[in-house]
Structure formats: structure tokens, C-alpha cells
Chain A
Amino acid sequence: MSFLKEFVKFLMERKKFWLLPILIFLLIFGALFVVTQGTAVAPFIYTIF
């Protein structure tokens, strides 16, 4: 949670909001890869890319 707070603060300070969608995309799919690693869902995730 504190990470998110700090990252939002950082974005406000740097005003580079265009990075936000890229980051969200990376975080969501990054998390998805990590969470699904070794599960039955993994092959379906990999076929998307």
C-alpha cells in the first residue's frame, strides 16, 4: 500500500501521467504471469502473447 502511495506521489511530482497506462498494463500482466506460473491457467495466458 505504501508503495502505491509513494508511486502516486512520484507521478504527481514528475507529471508524467502518460507512463501510468504502461505501468498499469505491466503490473497487471506481470502479476498475472507470476500468479499463474505453474497452474493450469498458464498455457492460456501464454497463448495470448
Chain B
Amino acid sequence: MTYILGISAFYHDSAAALIQDGKIISAAQEERFTRKKHDSGFPTNAINFVLNFSNVKLNEIDHIVFYEKPFLKFERLLETYVAFAPKGFQSFSRAMPLWLKEKLFQKKFIFDHLKNIDKVFKDETKLLFSEHHLSHAASAFYPSPFEEAIILTADGVGEWATTTVAIGKKNNVEIKKELHFPHSLGLLYSAFTYYTGFKVNSGEYKLMGLAPYGKPLYVDKILKNLIDLKDDGTFMLDQKYFNYSTGLTMTNKNFDALFGKKPRKPETEKITQFHMDIAASIQNVTEKIMLLLVKSLKKEYEIPNLCLAGGVALNCVANGKILQEKIFENIWVQPAAGDAGGSLGAALAYWHIDLNKEREEINKDNMRGSYLGNEFKENEIIETFDEIGAVYEKLNQDEIIEKTVNALSKGKAVGWFQGRMEFGPRALGNRSILGDPRSNTMQKNLNLKVKYRESFRPFAPSILREDLNDWFEMKTDSPYMLFVSYLKKDKTLKLNEDQKKLFGIDLLNVKKSEIPAVTHVDYSARVQTVSKDTNPLYYKLISKFKEKTNCPVLVNTSFNIRGEPIVHTPKDAFKCFMGTELDVLVVGNCYLAKTDQDLNLKSDYTNNFELD
């Protein structure tokens, strides 16, 4: 039996993953344990979890693979500073001490941390390093149900590569070509995230959510000035407008002059139609680039399957456009497409490429629904609640489903905590807040009273797989909520003349469809298809909801508030439940109503987390 531990850390979203003879066993992000969003520290807790889950000690692990190569990264940094010198001295003087003190000696640093986990662990030769984009590519290909696929990875930057094309065939992944720093689609998107006043590395979702409120008025400006885009989707960014290579911001004065405004100050400046138009424009450009890239790759390699990973692959609107264009027969996106998934990819790459091991179950999605995290036994849940002084009802599974469906159909917001935690940024029905999508006030209520986040942000629908074709244009599985599709025409509602005149944020309050809580202003939705195989309990819940309401859809949003990592333990869930206006909490077979709880257990929750 061979165990391989994959680790990603030190940039953002640290994580650990464990595979056993090539089979994915467990994976988790460090943020869930430390309660610090996007935690970049060494993932001690996540490693302890994956080891405990399989009941192995670190010393018994055969190989430990870090997801990127620090020397190569250092080479890129040094070369970039030399290329731009004397510009960038400030950034250089900040970065170098850190690298010379710590980061350059990452092997020792990681080894020391590992020794802290298991004192007996001594064998330094077990510690290996994969390449950043190879880790992404491996994470996208090996768990996919394809024997052969084109793999496209795109993110901010790894060592040098920002966009990589690889071909996966049986147990091999071969990188064919790369785009290098500073020419990066991820960084281009992040530059606009920064410019519109959102936090880089976390606010990209918000920009994507804001885009449908705007008009893509600046597409030509972007294409003419910022980017030299070729017909095959490759591109170069004009560094005249950016500051990320050498500075401490993403964009510079030339960028501001081009668009006629300074970057939005998030604390004092409101989001205006200008920011929405900017969001729509960069989203449009991103989709253009992705479409050109995949079209040219399909033409070149003539392989019908596509795998995607890297932070850009979390742009589910762009993924949806690729799907809609029917360029490929099948598309599979790694649910932990960001750096967290690199831990899994690093382990898989070593098993299949370096150790030359065959893939055992091709033609099957081997990601296990991305339910790879921690789970809690009934006695642990009960112990926690008894200790806290929570008032709960212990029911059997049928009763819990019945009662939860009743609450949902009455418009209650429900915290739903079941089974193993999801790996990746999406809650897929195990650590979710659920609601009735038919309610006209649900989106606003969930955003403002439960999640404490911006009112413009959309929610996603979970739908029974067999009902997908009746409700959405999309025809394929989307178990990981990584494709945006459009609502079927017959499910939308006609707007009256006054409503038609509205634009931007004013559209938010207009009832647009039979399921307004999950219908974005452009009638799009980030769909999660739920099937019996991947999540039987969640499937049962939605089926029961359908039985009662004739609607096979639920609102599904992650179980957390703005700036908080998704809840990890029953205790986290209870804290979030009491700190927000959630009406009901269901953990395993325990049912908790807010009205039954001791109000002294309520705490000020919103200030516990730094806003993202």
C-alpha cells in the first residue's frame, strides 16, 4: 500500500490531500481549521486531519509532494526585478529579506514543520516538489472520467507559467506549451478586481457576480490597449498599465487614465454603474480569451474532452460559455481548481507520472463528489450540543428530511450540515445554507441578514439531475457548481414596461422567474446538479421538497458569513446559526430551531471575520 501526501501552502488556500495507491482518500483546506479565510500558513491541521482519517502516521507516508518549486519561483522573482530595475526597488526590498530568510529554504522549512507533526519522521528524501501548473493539470485530469483529454490550466502565476496546455493520456500528463509571467489571464482579472475595489485573490467572484448588471462598454478599450490578443487565444499584456510585476498594487496611473477613474475605495466609495460596466467588460474579455484558447486547442489536438483547473477555471460563467459553444463533447473542471487543489494534483502527478502507475477506474468521476473532508459521528454532534447548551430534537433520517422540507417551504433559512466536508470553495450540500428559491425576498434576506454580504451577489440553485432539462438550457452534469447556464424561457416571467426600463442594481428587486432567488439579472444561474450517486441524502431532501412544492430546486449557498471560511465543525455551525438570522440548523439527525434556543447564546458574529 502506498500513501502519498500532497501539500499546498505559502501563497493562499493552503491544503493537504492524501491518496492511497492512486485513490483519492481525503483532502481539506487549512482555513477550515484555523477559521482564517484563505489561510496560507503551513497546513498542519489539514495534514493531521488526512492522516487521522486514514489512521496513518506521517512516518508511514511513502512520499510527500509539495505543489510547486520554490527555486523556480525565486528565479522568476529575481529575473523580473532585474528586467524592470531600477523600477520596483520598494517591492524588491520587501520581498528579498523574506525569501533569503525563509522562502528559499522552503524544503527545510517544510521538513521542520513535518517533524513537528511526527517527531519520528526523519527521511528528508521523502519530500518532493512538483511544478505548480503540472499539479493543477494533474488535479484536473486524473480524477476526470476521460482516458484522453486536453488540459488547460490558467491562474495568476505559478513559478513562471500562467497558462498551460497539457495533454493527458491514460496515466500520463505532458505539458505542451505555456504562457509565462507577466502575461497572465488570472492577473488581468485580478487587476480589474483591484480596480473595482474588491480584494485580490478573493473578490474575483464578486466581480463575476457584478458583471451581469453592467454593459460591456470597455471591451474595445481593453483589447486595444491592455492586451495583444492573437487568434489562437494567446496574448501579451502591455505592462505600461500594470503594477503587479514590481509594485505593491495591481494597476497604475496609466490604467486609471485609460478608464478615467481611480480605483474604487471599498470603504468609502459605492459601486456605481461604471464599476458594473467595467466588470461586464473584463468578464466579456475573459470569455473571449478562453473561447479562442479552447477553440484553437480543439483544432490542433482534435481530442473531444477538455479538463480545466487553475483559479481562472473557477470562472463558471466562462466555463458555461465553453459548454454552450459545444466545442467539446465533455468538459470536466476540478472543483478545487485554485491552489488548494494543487495539493491533490501534486500527489496524483507523482503516483501516475513518476511512479508510472496506471489509472484504475477510468470513465468514472473519481473526485467522490469532492466530499473529501471531515465528518462527525452522531455522538460527537450530540456531545457538542449538550456542552454548548443547545436545544435540539434528535430525529431519524426520514423525520429530519420531512421537518427540514417543511421549514424550507415556509421560507425559513436552514443551515444544513451533513457528512463529509467539501474540498474546494463551493458548498455542495454538506456545509450549505438552504432556502426556498421561489421566494421573492430570499436573495435579499440571505445576503443581508444571514450572509451579511453585498446585496447584488447571486445565489446558486441545486437541482435534481433528472429535472435539469426542464429548468435550464444546460444538458450536462454540473455536480461541482462550475458551470453557469440560463433558465428555460418558460420558467421566466415577462417584465412589464416599467421593469424593462430598469438597469443595473435596480433590476435586483424585479421578480424575473419562478425561482427568483437563484435567477441572476441576466437569467443565468450557477447550477449544481444533484444525483443519487454523489449525495444521496441531499438528493432525498430536494426530492421531498419537490414532492411538497413541485419545485426540484433549492437555494444553496456556503454555510458561512462574509469573510468567514465555510463551517467545519458542529460547533462552528452552531456559532454561525446563533450569530446570524438563520431560522433552523440541521446537523446530522439533530434539528435545532432558533426559537427554541437560549438567546444568551447569541453572540456578535459579524465582527469576528475580516471582510473579504
Contact = CB atoms under 8 A, between A and B. Distances in A.
A16 B75 contact: yes
A4 to B, nearest CB: 11
Given A19-B78, A22-B82, A30 B107 contact: no
Given A7-B71, A26-B96, A27-B100, A19 B105 contact: no
B78 A23 contact: yes
Contacts of A3: 104-105, 107-108
B561 to A, nearest CB: 42
Given A3-B107, A6-B107, A30 B79 contact: no
Given A27-B100, A30-B96, A10 B78 contact: no
Nearest to B124: A2
A17 to B, nearest CB: 12
Contacts of B79: 16, 19
Contacts of A23: 78
A19 B71 contact: no
B108 A30 contact: no
Contacts of A2: 107, 124
Nearest to A34: B101
A23 B72 CA distance: 13
B86 interface: no
Contacts of A19: 75, 78-79
Contacts of A6: 71, 107
A19 B78 CA distance: 8
B75 A14 contact: yes
A14 B108 CA distance: 22
B128 to A, nearest CB: 12
A14 to B, nearest CB: 7
Contact of A10 (B71, B100, B105): B71
Interface in B86-119: 96-97, 100-101, 104-105, 107-108
A34 B96 CA distance: 13
A46 to B, nearest CB: 13
B112 to A, nearest CB: 13
B506 to A, nearest CB: 56
Contacts of B82: 22
Interface string A6-43: 11001000101001001100110010011000000000
A22 B96 contact: no
B78 A30 contact: no
A12 B104 CA distance: 17
Contacts of A14: 72, 75
A16 to B, nearest CB: 6
B181 to A, nearest CB: 15
B100 A30 contact: yes
Contacts of A10: 71-72
A22 B101 CA distance: 16
Contacts of B107: 2-3, 6
Interface-central residue, B71, B72, B82, B105, by most chain A CB under 10 Å: B71
A34 B100 CA distance: 10
A44 B267 CA distance: 44
A28 to B, nearest CB: 10
A16 B100 CA distance: 19
Nearest to B96: A26
A1 B503 CA distance: 64
Contacts of A30: 96-97, 100-101
Contacts of B108: 3
B82 to A, nearest CB: 7
A23 B104 CA distance: 11
A42 to B, nearest CB: 15
A19 to B, nearest CB: 6
A3 B105 CA distance: 7
Contact of A22 (B71, B72, B78): B78
A2 B96 CA distance: 21
A27 B82 CA distance: 16
Nearest to A29: B100
Contacts of A16: 75, 79
Contacts of A27: 100
Contacts of A33: 97
Contacts of B96: 26, 30
A7 B105 CA distance: 10
Nearest to B105: A3
A8 B168 CA distance: 32
A29 to B, nearest CB: 9
A26 B75 contact: no
25 contacts: A2-B107, A2-B124, A3-B104, A3-B105, A3-B107, A3-B108, A6-B71, A6-B107, A7-B71, A10-B71, A10-B72, A16-B75, A16-B79, A19-B78, A19-B79, A22-B78, A22-B82, A23-B78, A26-B96, A27-B100, A30-B96, A30-B100, A30-B101, A33-B97, A34-B101
Given A30-B100, A34-B101, 4 more contacts: A3-B105, A19-B78, A26-B96, A33-B97
Shortest beta-carbon contacts, A-B, top 10 = A30-B100, A10-B71, A19-B78, A3-B105, A26-B100, A26-B96, A22-B78, A16-B75, A27-B100, A14-B75
